[in-house]
Structure 1
Amino acid sequence: MEGGRDEPGRKQKVLMGTCGWSDDTLLKCGRFYPASVRSAEDRLRHYSTHFPCVEVDTSTYAIPSKVSVRRWLQAVPPGFVFHFKAFGLFCSKSCPITAIPGDIRCKLSFAGGADYVKLLNLSTDIQDEVWTAFNSTLEPVFAAGSLGVILFQFHLTFKPSAENRAHVLWCRRHLDPRFEMAVEFRNRDWFVGEHFLGTCDWLKANNMALVAADELVHETFQRDREQTGLPEGQIREFLPVAWAVTKPSFHYIRVHRREGCKRLLSDSELQTWVARLQLKLPETLQGPIYFMWGTDWEDQPIINARNLKQLLPTSMIFNWKAVQLETPAKGSLLSMFRSGQTSVQSTPDSVPKKLSDIPADDITLRALSEMSNTVNLESPSGKVGDTQKRTHDLTVDIFEPTKKPTASPPPFKKTKPSPNKRKSNAGVVTATSTITSFFKPAPSGT
């Protein structure tokens, strides 16, 4: 398929990305996007030079317009993958009336001007129209080879029952059969005791993937959505991660940290994920491992991705930079240089086709290659040590946008000291040796 989503080179490779690319705190912190990047498309263009995939979160609240989707496709290089969260009406069985596409909404008539619409109150014809709108919006992404996974996230009230199983199957039948479907059950009753094997077998039989979700207890079950972190005196606990590959074509992982400003994973938490990825992936897995970071606070998702990448063997990481050098995006400096060379040179062998073929003294092409990859997610140091100690310094060095040069300070005048390093959350996680179900890290101190 065009675009490289199904390339053999992605088999059992980890492709990291974030859950969205326009979080407000990420934009405000100024450490990832250059100041010149303004529009959603420009941000995506910048983001896609560093990550091979992204999860579109806004599709939960409204079906994206085809115009927006077309602009997103034009902004990313070949091989980039979009995952989409399913429209909220399908998962929650209700949504604001304003979220229904306008051409469908005008056909609805509810007395009293209700703000929300329930799925069961919609006729079968209207339900089908909403599904058609959702599927047709994703069709161009699929045709471009850039459609990854459609994520259906079912909330805490969605407990295992015959009715809810039937609803999940209803979603699978209405989603385009060509699209990959992943299911995230936030209610852990789906994984308790005998339910776990039954859930996995059922998903396998119906062509659906089980999402491995990493969540904290107090963030998942607390009712006060304004809570700003772990309540004083309480111990940080981790919910079990349901670990089972139910589709051989891919595996999908999501790490959630929803509250407060300390959402960096500790070294022990990262090491637990390294153990899962190295020890618990079956040989039957034929596709990539999508590892999506939902630790949305400033640039902490980017830092978490880099820190885990440093701990994993190089052989497990999908080399996105190399792919971009092989097939640069249209309009990029590297692609324009190559196309210009192709039109001028009389013989095909006069210009190297791969970066590895470029002579060491060919400064021009190497410089252009580096300019098209300005940010390196690798640490300047090869050492893997205390995550918290290196976090702030590396963030400033690697991700801060280039600033205009300023005049040199007067002689003998001391420059301003570096800002204080931000402390991150700490936690101790110990991986168990259970292979048949999932890891459950031990509770840790705050």
Structure 2
Amino acid sequence: MADILIGTCGWTDPNLLRSGWYPPGHRDPDKRLRHYATRFPLVEADSSYYALPSARTTALWADRTPDGFRFDVKAFSLLTGHPTRPAALPPDLRTHPRDEALRTEVWTRYAEALAPLHDTGRLGTLLFQYPPSLRPGPEAETFIRTARERAHDWPFAVEFRDPAWWHPDHAARTTAFLTDLNATAVATDTPEDQHPVPVTTPHLAMVRFHGRSPHWRTGSKEDRFRHTYTERELAQWLPRIHSLSAATSEVHLLFNNCCADAAPTAAQTMHDLLSTTFPHQPTPAEKTTPEAH
């Protein structure tokens, strides 16, 4: 049976900081991450999508978390074909053409920055979330394969925002493609009808819970991801999580719904649901001495 790690997509969202989820006195980055790591064994680092991280920052993340803690790290926007502001690039790269040579240099710096997580065993996977504009086809497959070849010795997960990749007419090809790349297929929970997402690597399966807002593809970020999961909605996932856990050695469940403390609340509810059907999986809080509240 797989280890099932549950967490949230980020730990520094302003709405979360204002919600009161962190205890009083946990205003600085060090205390916030240390507290988070007593509650959950997994987190997604999404700041790396907006700007290249630094090795100093990721070394601090490693220092502030216990052994066994995992970071799933989003790929920088340029690496996945998203629009990227020049200001998000290092100054010496801002005037370069947006081509594969630039992506290769950006990848090199991105990988160097993540080395402290990789070297300390705290890297769960890299998350390459591809935009809706990346539609299935040979050109898109070449783009993804090139990214995978750069990251050939790194764990690599792929989330498609165009549901056509998992339409029954294309699902078998997508499955074979990701399996050949040794890339984890990311399942999602959204308001849209979901096609089954298969297990494509033996070491990791992954689900990102984006919420079920009626504004999923419109409006602000808060509009798109605003949702409070009910226990019934989460319980619907238990059979699928059972299936995933039987096919891989580790399962990551990440909550991306907002706002306020909606994500950690849903993550805790999922943990409680799973604890009744799976062998006990301790949280970091059960391995370490909890901080005083």
Same fold at TM > 0.5: yes
Aligned to 1:54: 43
Aligned to 1:320: 283
Aligned residues: 282
Query: Does the CA contact (< 8 Å) of 1:154 and 1:183 recur in 2?
Result: yes
Matched, 1:256 2:210: yes
Give the 3 Å change call, closer, same or farther, for CA 139–181 of structure 1 in structure 2: same
Aligned to 2:256: 294
* In structure 1, C-alpha distance between the alignment counterparts of 2:155 and 2:264, rounded to whole Å: 26
Query: Does the CA contact (< 8 Å) of 2:226 and 2:258 recur in 1?
Result: no
Query: Does the CA contact (< 8 Å) of 1:245 and 1:282 recur in 2?
Result: no
- The AA in structure 2 aligned to 1:186 is R
- The AA in structure 2 aligned to 1:131 is W
Matched, 1:310 2:280: no
- 1:349-388 equivalences under 5 Å are 372-374=289-291
- 1:57-206 equivalences under 5 Å are 57-92=46-81, 94-105=83-94, 108=95, 119-120=98-99, 124=101, 126-175=102-151, 177-206=152-181
Distance apart, 1:296 and its partner CA: 2.2
Residues 31-81 of structure 1, C-alpha deviation per residue, up to 9 Å, x if partnerless?
Answer: x11221122222111101111011000100111111111111111111111
Give the 3 Å change call, closer, same or farther, for CA 100–264 of structure 1 in structure 2: same
- The 3-state SS of whatever aligns with 1:194 is coil
Aligned to 1:276: 240
- The 3-state SS of whatever aligns with 1:210 is strand
Query: Does the CA contact (< 8 Å) of 2:175 and 2:198 recur in 1?
Result: yes
- The 3-state SS of whatever aligns with 1:265 is coil
- The 3-state SS of whatever aligns with 1:49 is helix
Give the 3 Å change call, closer, same or farther, for CA 93–307 of structure 1 in structure 2: closer
Aligned to 2:189: 214
Question: Max radius of gyration: which structure?
Answer: 1
- The AA in structure 1 aligned to 2:208 is R
Residues 245-264 of structure 1, C-alpha deviation per residue, up to 9 Å, x if partnerless?
Answer: 10010111100036459612
- The 3-state SS of whatever aligns with 1:72 is helix
- The 3-state SS of whatever aligns with 2:129 is strand
Matched, 1:39 2:32: no
Q: Which runs of 5+ in 2 are unaligned?
A: 212-220
* In structure 1, C-alpha distance between the alignment counterparts of 2:270 and 2:234, rounded to whole Å: 6
- The AA in structure 2 aligned to 1:193 is P
- The 3-state SS of whatever aligns with 1:14 is strand
* In structure 1, C-alpha distance between the alignment counterparts of 2:226 and 2:145, rounded to whole Å: 38
- The AA in structure 1 aligned to 2:269 is N
Residues 373-395 of structure 1, C-alpha deviation per residue, up to 9 Å, x if partnerless?
Answer: 259xxxxxxxxxxxxxxxxxxxx
Distance apart, 1:103 and its partner CA: 4.2
- The AA in structure 1 aligned to 2:270 is L
Give the 3 Å change call, closer, same or farther, for CA 273–291 of structure 1 in structure 2: same
- The 3-state SS of whatever aligns with 2:108 is helix
Residues 108-139 of structure 1, C-alpha deviation per residue, up to 9 Å, x if partnerless?
Answer: 36xxxxxxxx623x7x2x43221110111111
Query: Does the CA contact (< 8 Å) of 2:40 and 2:285 recur in 1?
Result: no
Query: Does the CA contact (< 8 Å) of 2:189 and 2:208 recur in 1?
Result: yes
- The 3-state SS of whatever aligns with 1:148 is strand
Residues 203-245 of structure 1, C-alpha deviation per residue, up to 9 Å, x if partnerless?
Answer: 10111110001112xxxxxxxxxxxxxxxxxxxxx33154211
- The 3-state SS of whatever aligns with 2:255 is strand
Query: Does the CA contact (< 8 Å) of 2:37 and 2:284 recur in 1?
Result: no
How much is the aligned-residue C-alpha RMSD, in angstroms?
Answer: 2.1
Query: Does the CA contact (< 8 Å) of 1:214 and 1:239 recur in 2?
Result: no
Aligned to 2:214: none
Distance apart, 1:28 and its partner CA: 0.7
Q: Which runs of 5+ in 1 are unaligned?
A: 1-10, 110-117, 217-237, 326-371, 376-401, 403-446
Aligned to 1:240: 194
Distance apart, 1:82 and its partner CA: 0.9
- The AA in structure 2 aligned to 1:281 is L
Query: Does the CA contact (< 8 Å) of 1:77 and 1:324 recur in 2?
Result: no
